């Protein structure tokens, strides 16, 4: 029998940790909690998690710094949802640029958090695409396995990056609007800037020079198009 997804909840608010833990356990998840970034690092050292829910504003190391570090080395693929009382567009963009997969402003309805978590877990394991393998220079994206393979091995993708690449691979040479990409990411409230940030992150994984894209092109005023090739 498959074990339920294991979530790491990191927030310095003890009451909120308790409430969310009880609610998510009732919804069928396994929960581990941490009160700060240092505790989270200890948990990550000894346990595997399917997703992290992480508060941004915490004493000591904040959620943005922890996210950047995890993306750099410890957990490049684990979905991360940031929680914060600061919901201005620039704060949301900063969260995505740090490497988060989603962003939820406080206060929030736990049911909204549940929907976001389920969507992120789906993105982390998207259904196979009918498209065949795509060549991206020296790399190959195998849609049937949802894997990006380079000469040096498998390239680790976040859930959002993988969902974007699956969407592009299913419709190569076709312009996809930001609205279509937001739908692929199941981000109903995503701003154009948030989508641009996710595309930029994907380019870093597939382009020899992300500043001069060979494969994933911007179409001004329309969206993006993937043009695979050698």
**Burial group, residue 11, by CB count within 10 angstroms (0-12, 13-18, 19+):** buried
Positions of CATH 3.40.50.2300 in the chain: 6-124
pTM of the model: 0.67
Task: Kindly report the CATH number that applies to the domain delimited by 134-226.
Answer: 1.10.10.10
Positions of CATH 1.10.10.10 in the chain: 134-226
> Across the chain, which distance is largest between two alpha carbons, in Å?
54
DSSP character string of 50-94: SEEEEESS-SSS-HHHHHHHIIIII-SSS-EEEEES--SHHHHHH
DSSP β-ladder status, 51-55 and 102-105: unpaired
Each residue's pLDDT tens digit in the chain (230 positions)? 467 899 999 999 999 999 999 999 999 999 999 999 999 999 998 898 999 999 999 999 999 999 999 987 766 778 999 998 876 778 888 888 888 999 898 889 999 999 999 988 887 776 555 556 889 999 999 877 888 999 998 898 888 888 899 889 888 999 998 888 888 887 765 567 788 889 999 999 999 999 999 999 999 888 999 999 88
Contact 92, 83 (CB under 8 A): no
> Measuring CA to CA, which residue among 184, 27, 41 is closest to residue 110?
27
As its CATH architecture, domain 6-124 has: 3-Layer(aba) Sandwich (3.40)
């Amino acid at each position: 029998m498959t074990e339920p997804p294991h979530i790491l909840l990191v927030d310095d608010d003890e009451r909120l940790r308790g409430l969310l833990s009880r609610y998510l356990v009732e919804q069928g998840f396994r929960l581990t909690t941490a009160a700060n970034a240092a505790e989270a690092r200890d948990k990550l050292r000894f346990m595997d998690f399917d997703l992290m829910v992480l508060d941004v504003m915490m004493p000591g190391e904040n959620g943005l710094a922890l996210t950047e570090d995890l993306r750099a080395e410890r957990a490049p693929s684990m979905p991360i949802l940031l929680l914060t009382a600061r919901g201005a567009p620039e704060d949301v963009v900063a969260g995505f640029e740090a490497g988060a997969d989603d962003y939820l402003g406080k206060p929030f309805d736990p049911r909204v958090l549940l929907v976001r978590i389920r969507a992120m877990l789906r993105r982390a394991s998207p259904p196979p695409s009918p498209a065949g393998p795509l060549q991206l220079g020296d790399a190959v994206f195998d849609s049937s396995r949802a894997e990006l393979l380079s000469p040096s091995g498998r390239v680790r993708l976040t859930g959002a990056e993988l969902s974007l690449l699956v969407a592009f691979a299913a419709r190569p040479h076709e312009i996809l609007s930001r609205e279509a990409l937001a739908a692929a990411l199941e981000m109903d409230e995503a701003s154009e800037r948030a989508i641009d940030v996710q595309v930029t992150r994907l380019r870093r994984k597939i382009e020899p020079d992300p500043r001069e894209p060979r494969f994933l092109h911007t179409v001004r005023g329309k969206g993006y198009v993937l043009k695979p090739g050698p």
